[in-house]
Chain A
Amino acid sequence: MGHRLLGQLPATRNWTKVIALLKATDSVDRIANATSQAASHGLELAKRDKGVARVAFALMKVIWASRKEQFFEELADLGISVSAQASLLDVVGAFDDALDRSLRQAGHRSDLAEMARFSAVDAMSNICRSKTGNLFGATAEDLRNALKKYATPQQFGSVGQNFFGWFLYRFLDYHLSRELANHIGVGKQFTSTTTCQDFKDGLALHCYQTARIVKEFSGCWPSATEFREGISAENVRTKFMPVALSKIRSELKQREGADA
């Protein structure tokens, strides 16, 4: 029982290095890279996780649907049932519901798939706000107009950057949050919970910036693949995710070098 169950980092060599690094520095570049190295097995699993691919595929489909005349019918085909009178939040909520349903129907759900689901909804909310200026009071039509602007190869890259930026942040925080509290307090790396939160904000920004590396790839891949063979959850899993996550992994490494 317990409302909230928290874990501890395993006592392996790689995680011990991360702990030592947290004692020595608050450099987000170095900590992010060391964490991704220690959690490299997780990143490898994410590359071929069916749930993660399903989510990324659904996000692509929703954005491309906004170009179609029959936007709401297209959404319904994707399991997102909303009327034209719905609010923006209704559509984003229905999108979240559709992802949840799709993951449940696919069987076992990994934590990685759940992180991807959260990241897709984060990205959707974020890009909508950047175009509509406000999440409240906006309609489904406003959302459609906002999404339409992203439905070009060049602009879709921003959606990809958003999605991977959030995913990377959630992935690193999933691991680091088991340890950060040990480094808060007198004589520790973070003088208070607020400075620790500032570090996390810096980490989120770092992840977003790191995901810049997949912007062009995310933008071009769907249209090129659609033209060549058609996009499916399967080729998102076998071709899109492995490349994108490998790029992110090497970018994290490169950024650490740049900071040194």
Chain B
Amino acid sequence: MPEEHLILCGGISRPKSARAKVHELQLGKDKHKGQIYLDIKSITEKMVQDLPPVLHDLLGIATYVYVADQVVSRGGLIRFDYGNTWNRCLHFVIPVCEHNVWTDPEIRTLLEETLAFASGDTYSFEFVYQPEDQFPKFLNFPSEIVSKYKYDEVLLFSGGLDSFAGVVEEVVANKNHPILVSHQSNNKLVGLQRTLFAYVIGLCKSGLKPLHVPVMINKKKELTRETSQRTRSFLYASLGTIVARIFGLNRVRFYENGIVSCNLPSDGQTLQARSTRSTHSKLLHLLSKFVSGLTNSDFVFENPYFSKTKTEVCLRLKELHHEPYIQETRSCAKSTYINPHKHCGTCSQCIDRRFATLASECQEYDPEWAYALNIFRDELTNTRDRAMAAGFAGFSTQIDRMTIDDFVIKYSSEVHEIARYMPSVSNEEATRAVFGLHRRHAQKVNGILDAAIVENKSSIRKGTLPKTCLISMVASGLHLNARQMRESANESKKHGRGDLNSQVDRLVKLHPEWTAQQMADEIGNTTADAVRHTQAWKNRHRDP
């Protein structure tokens, strides 16, 4: 059985007989005591004070959950433990003001379900009443006051390509006045978001300018043992909720392309939280339901770019004439890269971005030198980098060969989970839309791969490309001569269906007691002819 972790929050004392592993977390402004606090810009203490206490509680809970997510290790990505350590059991004891609300079974179940879906972990909560005046101060506000203007959208803004395109969409196309909520997990993001925000401000010649609300969580380095951070989207959504409620809004928008939102597995190892679900349709549905229940309103989280591929997001930016600023955005999962490289080039985000900017002909604004590694031509020495690149290319090749029925059967559970929670369409329409989205993505990716093969045809022929670059992995078979290709095809046929006679030979060896019907059944051809043929071949095989 997996180990249970007990997270005691806000100074709650340790139970005498706790069988679980105990972790103590405390919000507060005293850095020396290892307390955790949030730096929130652009919102004043007074504005937050007007909020209902339940939202104060929400921010506290989201912060504790996010920090605990980093405190408890998932055990790494090498040992096979089938999720026993990777999918953790976390039990929280948290002080709250609105005890009645949080102990409501519906709210608590929704909270647990939302977090479980986002992170793949098992959550349980115990809430302890604490009067409002005894709550620690853990929010650092600026002193200047921002008046309550008529902002009309709240967007979650990371500084990536999609979220930047979303801001441009809102400001330029929809003529809205958005508030951009950002979580700044490191100092590099501060500069990046500041540059992009300055650009957005420049887009508004007159009237109300967008407001940027960056939030930084301050905690001791020792509290970071796990970096997967699958509950980051919950913290992000909670911050968005609070900002939306301050300005009387009932909607928060995540802008993320549909391929990443669906995040279908390219292979069998990315189960549960190994793939992010931060903008998955089910997560947005659960968040909407949870916050609506909490605030007694029709609150909604939505992703307007769900129906777009990343290439289409780039094309949309182009249509709005703001594609030059792609170069200022950053999609990479690793924050350690420094100038001139902004991107590692090998994580799933970088690969997706590189293909999208090439397919939308925006490469001028996403130059090769910005990537530490060019996956097309550079040697991929790391196993994970190879798996990521091969998985990305293999996934598109596979999708391209599939009918919609094949697609539904291959990804049945994953596709149902997406389609069931897509708003206002039937299951069949949603499934068709998800398939269409992936087909368009696959066609663009395959187009780029084809172009890269043509461009490098001489190197492929001469064999001068590194053996483990993406082009070699995709195209090395092309230099085989026709005979080798034929042999290779026959070989794979042997391991696949093969012909009926060889299959029967093999089965006679394996299960001599089986009838012809059983053999034909296994081979997958149960026509009367096949059964007769199997019987004849079987008899012949038995004759000396």
- Which residues in chain B, 411-432, are within 8 Å of chain A measured between CB atoms? 412-414, 416-417, 419-420, 426-428, 431-432
A125: chain B residues within 8 A (beta carbon) = 408-409, 412
B374-412: CB near A (< 8 Å → 1, else 0) gives 000000000110111111011001100000110011101
- Do B271 and A174 have beta carbons less than 8 Å apart? yes
- Do B492 and A1 have beta carbons less than 8 Å apart? no
B390: chain A residues within 8 A (beta carbon) = 180-181, 184, 193, 196
- Do B80 and A192 have beta carbons less than 8 Å apart? no
- Do A121 and B412 have beta carbons less than 8 Å apart? yes
Q: Which residue of A29, A114, A184 has the most chain B CB atoms within 10 A of its CB atom?
A: A184
Size bin of chain A's contact surface: 35 or more
A135: chain B residues within 8 A (beta carbon) = 404-405, 408-409
- Do B398 and A181 have beta carbons less than 8 Å apart? no
Q: What's the least CB distance linking B439 to chain A, in Å?
A: 15
B263 within 8 A of A: yes
* Bound Cα distance from A8 to B521, whole angstroms: 37
B218 within 8 A of A: no
In the complex with contacts A197-B394, A258-B506, A96-B413 CB distance below 8 A: yes
A198 within 8 A of B: yes
- Do A177 and B477 have beta carbons less than 8 Å apart? no
Q: What's the least CB distance linking B75 to chain A, in Å?
A: 11
A5 within 8 A of B: yes
B: number of interface residues (CB 8 Å): 92
A126: chain B residues within 8 A (beta carbon) = 409
- Do A181 and B386 have beta carbons less than 8 Å apart? yes
Main secondary structure of the interface of B (DSSP, over half): helix
- Do B80 and A175 have beta carbons less than 8 Å apart? yes
B428 in complex: contacting residue of A28, A94, A136, CB < 8 Å = A136
* Bound Cα distance from A5 to B119, whole angstroms: 13
Main secondary structure of the interface of A (DSSP, over half): helix
B393: chain A residues within 8 A (beta carbon) = 193
A194 within 8 A of B: yes
In the complex with contacts A186-B472, A201-B496, A2-B416 CB distance below 8 A: no
Q: What's the least CB distance linking B399 to chain A, in Å?
A: 11
* Bound Cα distance from A112 to B271, whole angstroms: 10
- Do B116 and A104 have beta carbons less than 8 Å apart? yes
- Which residues in chain A, 94-122, are within 8 Å of chain B measured between CB atoms? 94, 96-97, 100, 104, 107-112, 114-115, 117-118, 121-122
- Which residues in chain A, 191-245, are within 8 Å of chain B measured between CB atoms? 191-199, 201-202, 205-206, 209, 212, 215
In the complex with contacts A118-B412, A186-B467, A195-B488, A178-B271 CB distance below 8 A: no
- Do A1 and B268 have beta carbons less than 8 Å apart? no
- Do B476 and A192 have beta carbons less than 8 Å apart? yes
* Bound Cα distance from A202 to B78, whole angstroms: 26
B49 within 8 A of A: no
B433 within 8 A of A: no
- Do A107 and B426 have beta carbons less than 8 Å apart? no
Q: Which residue of A1, A10, A174 has the most chain B CB atoms within 10 A of its CB atom?
A: A1
B130 within 8 A of A: no
A1: chain B residues within 8 A (beta carbon) = 185, 227-229, 232, 333
A4 in complex: contacting residue of B78, B79, B275, CB < 8 Å = B275
B274: chain A residues within 8 A (beta carbon) = 4-7
Q: Which residue of B lies closest to A128 (CB)?
A: B409
A92: chain B residues within 8 A (beta carbon) = 412, 416
Q: Which residue of B1, B113, B384, B414 has the most chain A CB atoms within 10 A of its CB atom?
A: B384
- Do A108 and B1 have beta carbons less than 8 Å apart? yes
Binds B, one of A39-47, A56-64, A73-81, A145-153: A39-47
B419 in complex: contacting residue of A89, A117, A178, A215, CB < 8 Å = A89
Q: Which residue of A lies closest to B426 (CB)?
A: A87
- Which residues in chain A, 5-19, are within 8 Å of chain B measured between CB atoms? 5-10
Binds A, one of B21-29, B39-47, B83-91, B144-152: B83-91
B480 within 8 A of A: yes
B271 in complex: contacting residue of A45, A115, A259, CB < 8 Å = A115
In the complex with contacts A8-B383, A255-B510, A198-B492 CB distance below 8 A: yes
9 chain-A/chain-B pairs, Cβ below 8 angstroms: A109-B272, A117-B413, A126-B409, A177-B391, A184-B390, A192-B473, A193-B393, A196-B394, A258-B510
